[in-house]
A = this chain, B = another copy of it.
Amino acid sequence: MFTALADGTRRAVVDQLAHHPATASELAVRAPVSRQAIVKHLGVLEAAGLVTGERDGRRVVYRFTPEPLRDAAEWMGVVGAEWDERLARLRTLMQR
């Protein structure tokens, strides 16, 4: 999870996909790297469960799936609970 989001290019991809689904080629024209690099990044993001790819004819459309963010938020809440009241409330929120 954190590993997947540790890379700036990957966070940019996630930002894009959070707005609207896209293919690797479409993402590549907006990014300063090649299509193949984007494909690899999408592979990492998909392995982390942050993204899912669905074939549509000749294209493969990727969509953002935010579920893993909850796990990360929960961990942050647990670790920060006794140090910050706001994060403690986040923890409660996430556990519901």
Residues of A within 8 A of B (CB): 2-3, 5-6, 11, 14-15, 18, 64-66, 69-70, 72-73, 75-76, 79-80, 82-84, 86-87, 89-90, 93-94, 96
Contact = CB atoms under 8 A, between A and B. Distances in A.
Contact of A66 (B15, B75, B84, B93): B84
B83 A66 contact: yes
A interface majority secondary structure: helix
Contact of A14 (B79, B90, B93, B96): B79
Contact of A86 (B6, B64, B83, B93): B93
A61 B41 CA distance: 38
A19 to B, nearest CB: 8
